Amino acid sequence: MRLRVLLALAAAALALAAPVSAANPQLAGLQVALRAYGFYLGPIDGVSGRGTADAIRAFQRSSRLPVDGIPGGSTRRALGRLGGPLYGERTLRGGRVGWDVSVLQFLLARHGIGRVIDGYFGRETAAAVRRFQRRAGIAVDGIAGPQTLGVLEGAKAREGMRVARYVVREGDSLAVIAERHSTTIPALARANKLDPARPLPIGAKLRIPTRVRAPLAAPPSAVRDLISNTARRNGVDPELARAVAWMESGFQPHVVSHAGALGVMQVTPPTWDFVETVVLGRNVARTTEGNITVGVVFLRHLLREFRGDERLALAAYYQGAKAVRERGLFDETRTYVEAVRSLKGRV
């Protein structure tokens, strides 16, 4: 499936030890915490450059921690109140202090709202949240709960409609099709100008409207664990599954590509339908866990289709299996494949 990954991100991932140039909102939380202790004097930009890396090591050295340049649990605990929790692990409201508040403020600033990025949820931050909520068309309460956090990360503010295509088969009815695709009989009838009382002609092509809801925010650590566990259950290398997920979304459940690919694994609606009807033979809930399940199962299917050739399976995940077989790997696909493979064991 063709996805939203930018070549710049792919190129950055190729360098194993090089600093990542794409902004990572979670890193903004780290930069704020390091700045509060006087170890980081650069911009709060979410970019892991040399200044941030040097500041982490200097802080670790000062705190008598292993100097590895990685902001792990012990380093974050040493940073005190600004060292956690990670963004998405709790609802944010007035008076809260922490890493996640810094990330919230960074995301608000990236949307052109608010200027303060200090890890403290004060009046100005509450006003910025209300302004964002008003602009996004969601409940305006100045509290950053799951919906607000999700929309800030890139999910659509309002429920939208996706439209899939379905060919009527023997034994189908509007009720059966509606249940299979998580929609309703009236919605199906309206979308296709049908009389619900009449039988469906076999072979008819139907439009399937399905509600797309913004998923709830989930902490990156929980998403990572979910990917690993799902991969193990399905016989897929967890390191490979995590590398694909990181390349696709950075473990963010709320990413929606311009092509309509959704969630952590960036699954398109046709791929989701294929996995449900052909690979698994059952419906999969439209949740973060369901998205990961579909993505991992699809990756397993591609590995089997290409006889365990990881490189071709990854290429098919990005470009499409048919295109890989018929046209070989596009240049940007080669970049994607090498980037994902370089991420194994690192995320």
Mind listing the pLDDT tens digit for each residue in 1-31? 433 333 333 333 332 233 333 567 888 899 9
* Catalytic residue from among 89, 153, 248, 276: 248
Domain(s) labelled CATH 1.10.101.10 in the chain stretch across 1-156
- In our burial notation (b when 16+ CB lie closer than 10 A, e otherwise), range 158-179 reads eeeeeebebebeeebebeebbe
CATH 3.20.20.80 fits 1-156, yes or no: no
CATH assignment, 160-212: 3.10.350.10
Q: What is the pLDDT of residue 88?
A: 80
Q: Where in the chain is the domain with CATH 1.10.530.10?
A: 220-343
* pLDDT attached to residue 328: 92
The CATH number of 220-343 is 1.10.530.10
Which residue type sits at 227? I
| Residue 248 is among the residues annotated as catalytic for this protein | yes
Rounded to two decimals, the pTM is: 0.46
User: What residues does CATH 3.10.350.10 cover in the chain?
Assistant: 160-212
| Position with higher pLDDT, 320 vs 151 | 320
| Number of other residues whose CB lies within 10 A of the CB of residue 67 | 15
CA dihedral 284, 263, 320, 233 (to 10 degrees): -50
pLDDT at 181: 66
| 49 vs 288, higher pLDDT | 288
